Amino acid sequence: MLISLEKTNPSENYDALTRAVLPRPLLWVLTEGEEGYSVAPYSFTNILSTQPPLVSIAFGLRPGQEQKGTYKALHEKGKGVLHLASEHQKDDILKSGERGSFTLNDDDLVHDVDGFPPRIHDCPVALYCTYYDTIDIKNANTHLVICKIEHIYMNEEFEKETHPLTCVGATGVVTLHSE
């Protein structure tokens, strides 16, 4: 099968691209907005550079060209905590991808780095980031936000026992096991 992308619509492109480029990192991004802390999943993400240590998140727009809450919070507050999530957090991840469907519980938050929002307790990795730059991608409804990693929390058991969630295909949120 040969798919020629000049003939496809955006949703067909999404389907083809997410099947052809995989897996995608899944970052659960906590920011502080007008109504307190909130978290949402982002999967069009990756490492950009190690010196300085940069990661990127590609933000789509809501209908009516409205920017997402996480995008606004990163610009307004200049900080965010990007998490890898564990298998048992999958339902929460999916709920938090729907506006207004998920509320963070104070008991799940750990305030361990001064000057940054908290991290989520059960997540094996947390990247404490400052806002770095935004690239408005030419002819695309996407803004690439670049964040600089200032601190990394890593659970000691992470590489031995934890299988973080990642994205495969348009809707798959899975863990990758290599036996």
Ligand X SMILES: Cc1cc2nc3c(=O)[nH]c(=O)nc-3n(C[C@H](O)[C@H](O)[C@H](O)COP(=O)(O)O)c2cc1C
> Cis ω on the peptide bond leading into residue 117 (within 30° of 0)?
no
Q: Which of 25, 32, 55, 59 binds ligand X (CB under 6 A)?
A: 59
Judged by CB under 6 A, how many residues of this single chain contact ligand X? 18
Residues near 173 by beta carbon (within 8 Å), at least 6 away in sequence: 26, 41, 90, 93, 94, 165, 166, 167
Q: Which residue has the tokens 């490492």?
A: 47
By Cβ distance, which residue is nearest to ligand X? 97
Q: How far apart are CA 132 and CA 110, in angstroms?
A: 24
- Binding ligand X (rule: CB under 6 A), the pick from 44, 116, 131, 132 is 44
Q: Judged by CB under 6 A, does residue 40 bind ligand X?
A: yes
Looking at 69, 134, 144, 169, which residue binds ligand X (CB under 6 A)? 69
Q: Which range of residues in 40-48, 81-89, 119-127, 156-164 is near ligand X by CB under 6 A? A: 40-48
119 CB-near residues (< 8 Å, 6+ apart): 30, 81, 83, 109, 110, 112, 113, 126, 128, 153
Q: List binders of ligand X among 98-137 (CB under 6 A).
A: 99
Positions in the binding site for ligand X (CB under 6 A): 26, 38, 40-44, 58-60, 68-70, 94, 97, 99, 167, 173
